[in-house]
Chains A and B, each alone.
Chain A
Amino acid sequence: MYDVVIIGAGVVGGMLARTLSAYDLKICILEKENDVAMGASKANSGIVHAGFDAKENSLKAKLNVRGAELMPQIAEELGVKYKNNGSLVVGFNDEDVKTIKELYDRGCKNGVRRLRIIDQDELHELEPNISDKAICALHAPTGAIICPYELTIAAIGNAMDNGAELKLNFEVKKIQEHDGYWEIASDKDTVMSHYVVNAAGQYSDAVAKIIGDNSFTVHPRKGEYILLDKECGGLVSHTVFRTPTAMGKGILVSPTVDGNLLVGPTSEDISDKDETSTTIEGFRKLFDADTVKNIPFNKTITSFCGLRSVGSTGDFIISSIKRGFISAGGIESPGLSASPAIAEEIIDMLGVHGLVLCKKNDYNPYRRTAHWFREASVAAKNATIAQNHAYGRVICRCETVTEGEIIEAIHTNPGARDLDGIKRRTRAQMGRCQGGFCMPAIMRILSRELDIPYESISKSGGGSDVICGRTKETL
C-alpha cells in the first residue's frame, strides 16, 4: 500500500514526486511509456517564463511566477543546466506596441520583477541579429531557459534516490475506490494507494473520467520545432518571442542550454492525442519566422513536434471531486515554469484531504549532475579514467560522450532502457550525425548492461525495435 501514487512521469508528476519524497511517504509513479518525460515534457520550448503572459489572478499567473522563482535553486540541487538569458517580446507595429504595453502592465501586476519596454536602438544593441523591422520590445531579464526532459529525469531520479518507486509501461486502465484507499490497475499489474494524483498530461481527462470526473477535458495543440546545429546557437542570446496572439506566444527563436538554436513552435489544434508528426506546412511556418534575421535553416539537425495539453477552462486545472484523488490537467505553457509551484499547490490540497506530512531526516535534495564528467578538470578526468577505463572510451564522437557516461545513464535513477533514453540523458546520438556512427555501439552497451539480447533493444520501447533479426535468417 502506497501513501501516494502519481499517474504520469512528466514534469508535473516528477516535480511532485520529488517534493513529496522529502516527507516520510511511500510514493509510486506510474508511467505508460518505457521512459519518463515522454509526453509534453520532452518536446517543448524549454523556457522558464518570467510570468507576464498569464492573466492576473489566474492559477497560471500565480504558479508561473512562484515556479520561476523556485526554479534556479531546484536546477542547482538537481544539477540541471539552467540559464538566465532573459527574454524579449518583439513588436513590429502599433498593434504590437499596444499588446506589449498590456503585457508590461500585466507582468507588473503578476509580480514579475525588472520588466521594461525598450526601443529599437536598445533592442538592436542587445540582439544585433533581430529583424530590422522590429520597433520595440518587452525585455524580461528574469526569463530563463532549461532543458525540460533533463529537469524531469533529474527530478524523478532524485525522488527515486529518496525512496520513490517508478513503474514504467504501466498504463492505467482501471481505478477503483475502496474504503480509504484506491486500487489502480493496468492490464498486467495492480497497485494500491491512499492518495492518487492524476498528472497524466494529455490523458489527464481520460484518467479523471475513470473515476467519474467529467469536469474538464484536455485537447492537444501541436507545436512543431526545428533544432539547429550548435554553431548557430549564438545567433541570439535572449529568447525572442513575437508579440502574442490568441493562438499563443507565436514562434520563438532561442538558444538552448546545450548551445543549439531552437525555432518553434507552430500552433495547431488537433484531436488525436498521439499525433506528433511534423508537416510541410509546419516547416513553412517555421521558415517564415521573422523576428530574427538570416536563420540558417540549412544547419538543421532535426525537427520534432510536441503536444501542449490545452485545458477546457483556459487555466491550469488542479481539482478534485473525490476525497484522496486529485487531478492536474490543462498544464500547457507555462507548465514547465510553474511545475515546482504546481507540486506545492497539489501538496497543499493533499494536506486538506488528510495526507500527513512528516519531514524525513535523511532526505537529500541533491543529485549528482549528469554533466559531472564533462565539466571536470583534465586532472579529475584522468583520475576517473585511471579508475574506470570506460570514461576514456569516446562512443559518441559528435557530442564527445564516453562509455562511462552511457553506463552511468543506464544505472542511475531513472535508468535509461532504450536508445532514446540514452540520448536524452547523455546527448549521445544527439549531435550532427544523429547516431549514425555510435548507435550500434550504444546498442551493445545497453544489451550488456541490462543483460538483454541485442535484438530486443528498442528506440523508445513498445514496438520500436531497431533490428528485425540476425542476418541469413530472412533468407
Chain B
Amino acid sequence: MTDLVIIGGGPAGMSAALAAYESGIRDILILERDAALGGILQQCIHNGFGLHKFGQELTGPEYAWKYEKRVHELGIPYKLNTMVLDITYNKVITATNAEDGMFEIKAKAIILAMGCRERPKGALNIAGTRPAGIYSAGTAQKLVNIEGYMPGKNVVILGSGDIGLIMARRMTLEGAKVQAVCELMPYSGGLARNIEQCLNDFNIPLKLSHTVIEIHGKERLSGVTIAKVDDRRKPIMSTAEYIPCDTLLLSVGLIPENELSKSADIELSSVTGGAVVDQDRQTSVSGIFACGNVLHVHDLVDFVSDEAEIAGKCAAEYINGEKCSNISVNLKTDGRIRYTVPQRITQKKDITVYFRVSDVFRNVRINIKNGDKTVFSKKKNKVAPGEMESIQLKAELLDGVSELNLELEEV
C-alpha cells in the first residue's frame, strides 16, 4: 500500500507531489509515461512561464526545472517510461514499464495529473485527401524543438489556440513561411499576448471566422482551400480561396485525457471533459483527486501549479483522515459561463472559483445568485473564452444553500 500515487509527472503532478510532501506525506510515487519529468513543458522552449508564480519570465523547461529540482532534493520517488493502464474505483493502479513489467499498486489516495491531448484532424471531418504534412501544432513543436527537424516550409495554421500561435512564431523563426492562421470563431481562443507577440509582431494574418474546407495533395500536402464562415459557422462557398502550402498545423482544441478516470467510474463533466470536483479537487470517487489539464484546460501553467497545490495538500489531508465535508453546494452556470471549477463545494471555507466564458463579452457583471437573490457581484471590462477568470467566494455565502448560480450579466 502506497499513501499517494500521482499519475503524471508534468507541472501538475510535480506540484501536487511537492504540496503533499509539504503537508507531511512521505510515501509518494509519481508515475510518468515519458522518459523525463516535466510533461509538455519540455518542448515549450519559448518564454512567458512563471510570471504569476515567480514574477519571472521563464521558458517551459526552466519552469519545470524549478519543480523537478525540488522533487530531486526531497527525494520524492518517481518511475519514468511507465504507462498506467488502469485505475479502479478501489484505487488499484495497473501500470507497465520495461524494468518492472506489469505491476499493481494499491494507493490510499490518487492524484490524476495526466494532462491533455490535442484534437486531431480526423475529428474535424475536413473534406479532401489524406496526405503527409498535416500535424497537430504540438506534434510539430516536438519535431522542431525536441527532434530538431522541420515538418515543412510553407505553412497554414488552422485554429488559434495558444500552441498554434506559438508555432506560427516558431516556424517563422526557423525560416518557414506562415501564410495565415485561420480561426473558425469570430475571436481567438489564445491569449491576447500571444496574438500580439506571435502573429502581429511577424505580420502573420489572423483570419477570424475562417476555416479549412478542403485538403489537397496526393502524397504530400499541396494546398488547402479556406473559406469564411457565416454566423452559424457554416462555410460561405463564394469566399473559398486556395492557398498552396506543404504543411497544415492544427490547433483546434485540447481534450483532457480521462480514459483512466473512466475506468475508475469517475464522474466527468461533458463541458470540461475532466472530472467533476469539489473545492479540494477531489473527484466523485473519494480519495481520487484531479488537477491540471486533465481536469480542465488551462491557459497558464502558473494556474496549473496553483490547482495542483490544492489537490496535493487536500490529498494529504485525506490520507491523514483530516478531510472533512460539512455542506453540499452545487455551483451552476448559465450558458454564457461555460463551466466552473470546482463544480461543487463540500466544506465551508473561502474558495476561489475558476470559470470560463463562452464568448467575448464587454462591460459585464459576474453575479452569484442564490435563487433570485444576487449575493455577490463583480464588474469586468472584458471577458474572453481564451482567458480563465476567477472570483473569490466567501464562506458565509455558503450558509444554508444547496445551489448557487454563477451568471454573466451585460451592463
The residue of chain B having its C-beta at the shortest distance from the C-beta of A429 within the complex is B120
Of B122-130, B378-386, B388-396, the segment with at least 4 beta carbons within 8 Å of chain A is B122-130
Evaluate contact between B174 and A466: CB separation under 8 angstroms. Answer: no
Evaluate contact between A471 and B174: CB separation under 8 angstroms. Answer: yes
Residues in A whose Cβ lies below 8 Å from that of B96: 381, 385, 392, 394
Would you call A212 an interface residue if the criterion is a C-beta within 8 Å of the partner chain's C-beta atoms?
Answer: no
Residues in B whose Cβ lies below 8 Å from that of A392: 81, 96-101
Would you call A279 an interface residue if the criterion is a C-beta within 8 Å of the partner chain's C-beta atoms?
Answer: yes
Q: A400-B83, A433-B120, A465-B132 are in contact. Are A471 and B153 (CB under 8 A)?
A: no
Size category of the B interface is: 35 or more
Would you give the shortest CB distance from B335 to chain A, in whole angstroms? 18
Would you call A189 an interface residue if the criterion is a C-beta within 8 Å of the partner chain's C-beta atoms?
Answer: no
Evaluate contact between B83 and A397: CB separation under 8 angstroms. Answer: yes
Q: A437-B117, A471-B150 are in contact. Are A464 and B219 (CB under 8 A)?
A: yes
The residue of chain B having its C-beta at the shortest distance from the C-beta of A473 within the complex is B150
Would you call A280 an interface residue if the criterion is a C-beta within 8 Å of the partner chain's C-beta atoms?
Answer: yes
Would you call B365 an interface residue if the criterion is a C-beta within 8 Å of the partner chain's C-beta atoms?
Answer: no
Would you give the shortest CB distance from B32 to chain A, in whole angstroms? 12
Assembly CA distance A456 to B262 (angstroms): 39
Residues in B whose Cβ lies below 8 Å from that of A282: 127
* B14-52 near A? 1/0 per residue, CB < 8 Å: 000000000000000000010000000000000000000
Evaluate contact between A470 and B148: CB separation under 8 angstroms. Answer: yes
Assembly CA distance A276 to B130 (angstroms): 8
Q: Name the residue in A277, A300, A386 with the highest tally of chain B Cβ atoms < 10 Å from its Cβ.
A: A277
* A435-447 near B? 1/0 per residue, CB < 8 Å: 1110110010000
A467's partner among B117, B150, B213 (CB-CB below 8 A) is B150
Residues in A whose Cβ lies below 8 Å from that of B150: 467-471, 473-474
A386's partner among B101, B142, B144, B147 (CB-CB below 8 A) is B101
Evaluate contact between B127 and A471: CB separation under 8 angstroms. Answer: no
Evaluate contact between A385 and B102: CB separation under 8 angstroms. Answer: yes
Number of A positions contacting B (CB below 8 A): 57
Evaluate contact between A277 and B98: CB separation under 8 angstroms. Answer: no
Number of A-B contacts (CB under 8 A): 147
Would you give the shortest CB distance from B169 to chain A, in whole angstroms? 14
Would you give the shortest CB distance from B107 to chain A, in whole angstroms? 19
Evaluate contact between B149 and A471: CB separation under 8 angstroms. Answer: yes
The residue of chain B having its C-beta at the shortest distance from the C-beta of A298 within the complex is B123
Residues in A whose Cβ lies below 8 Å from that of B85: 400
Residues in A whose Cβ lies below 8 Å from that of B117: 432-433, 436-437
Q: A382-B102, A393-B98 are in contact. Are A475 and B129 (CB under 8 A)?
A: no
Would you call A406 an interface residue if the criterion is a C-beta within 8 Å of the partner chain's C-beta atoms?
Answer: no
Residues in A whose Cβ lies below 8 Å from that of B101: 381-382, 385-386, 392
Would you call A226 an interface residue if the criterion is a C-beta within 8 Å of the partner chain's C-beta atoms?
Answer: yes
A440's partner among B129, B139, B174 (CB-CB below 8 A) is B139
- Within B55-97, the residues touching A (CB, 8 Å) are 81, 83, 85, 96-97
Would you call B143 an interface residue if the criterion is a C-beta within 8 Å of the partner chain's C-beta atoms?
Answer: yes
Evaluate contact between A440 and B219: CB separation under 8 angstroms. Answer: no
- Within B185-228, the residues touching A (CB, 8 Å) are 213-215, 218-220
Residues in B whose Cβ lies below 8 Å from that of A459: 131-132, 219
Residues in A whose Cβ lies below 8 Å from that of B97: 392-393
Residues in B whose Cβ lies below 8 Å from that of A466: 132, 151
Assembly CA distance A297 to B219 (angstroms): 27
The residue of chain B having its C-beta at the shortest distance from the C-beta of A462 within the complex is B219
Would you call B244 an interface residue if the criterion is a C-beta within 8 Å of the partner chain's C-beta atoms?
Answer: no
Would you call B136 an interface residue if the criterion is a C-beta within 8 Å of the partner chain's C-beta atoms?
Answer: yes
Q: A389-B98, A436-B118 are in contact. Are A464 and B149 (CB under 8 A)?
A: no
Evaluate contact between B139 and A436: CB separation under 8 angstroms. Answer: yes
Residues in B whose Cβ lies below 8 Å from that of A474: 150, 153, 174-176
Evaluate contact between B218 and A274: CB separation under 8 angstroms. Answer: yes
Assembly CA distance A226 to B128 (angstroms): 13
Q: A382-B102, A471-B149 are in contact. Are A464 and B131 (CB under 8 A)?
A: yes
The residue of chain B having its C-beta at the shortest distance from the C-beta of A418 within the complex is B132
Residues in B whose Cβ lies below 8 Å from that of A464: 131-132, 219-220
Evaluate contact between A277 and B129: CB separation under 8 angstroms. Answer: yes
Assembly CA distance A394 to B220 (angstroms): 29
Of A55-63, A301-309, A311-319, A325-333, the segment with at least 4 beta carbons within 8 Å of chain B is A301-309
Would you call B152 an interface residue if the criterion is a C-beta within 8 Å of the partner chain's C-beta atoms?
Answer: yes
Assembly CA distance A283 to B234 (angstroms): 14
Residues in B whose Cβ lies below 8 Å from that of A276: 129-130
Would you give the shortest CB distance from A408 to chain B, in whole angstroms? 16
Assembly CA distance A443 to B132 (angstroms): 13
Assembly CA distance A472 to B173 (angstroms): 9
B118's partner among A302, A386, A433 (CB-CB below 8 A) is A433
B246's partner among A280, A436, A439, A468 (CB-CB below 8 A) is A468
Q: Name the residue in A274, A279, A468 with the highest tally of chain B Cβ atoms < 10 Å from its Cβ.
A: A468
Evaluate contact between A440 and B147: CB separation under 8 angstroms. Answer: yes
Would you give the shortest CB distance from B391 to chain A, in whole angstroms? 31
Would you call B146 an interface residue if the criterion is a C-beta within 8 Å of the partner chain's C-beta atoms?
Answer: yes
Evaluate contact between B130 and A304: CB separation under 8 angstroms. Answer: yes
Would you call A258 an interface residue if the criterion is a C-beta within 8 Å of the partner chain's C-beta atoms?
Answer: no
Supply 24 A–B pairs (Cβ within 8 Å), ascending by A.
Answer: A276-B130, A277-B128, A277-B215, A280-B213, A303-B125, A381-B101, A382-B101, A382-B102, A385-B96, A389-B99, A435-B139, A436-B118, A436-B138, A439-B139, A440-B142, A440-B143, A458-B219, A464-B132, A466-B132, A467-B143, A467-B149, A468-B153, A468-B246, A474-B153
Q: Taking A386-B101, A474-B176 as given, write out 16 further A-B residue pairs in contact, using a Cβ cutoff of 8 Å, ordered by the A residue number.
A: A227-B122, A277-B214, A282-B127, A390-B98, A392-B81, A394-B33, A398-B259, A400-B85, A432-B255, A459-B219, A463-B218, A467-B149, A469-B150, A470-B150, A471-B144, A473-B175
User: 4 tightest CB-CB pairs across the interface, nearest first?
Assistant: A302-B122, A474-B175, A392-B98, A434-B120
* B interface list, Cβ under 8 A from A: 33, 81, 83, 85, 96-102, 117-118, 120-123, 125, 127-132, 135-136, 138-139, 142-144, 146-153, 174-176, 213-215, 218-220, 246, 255, 259
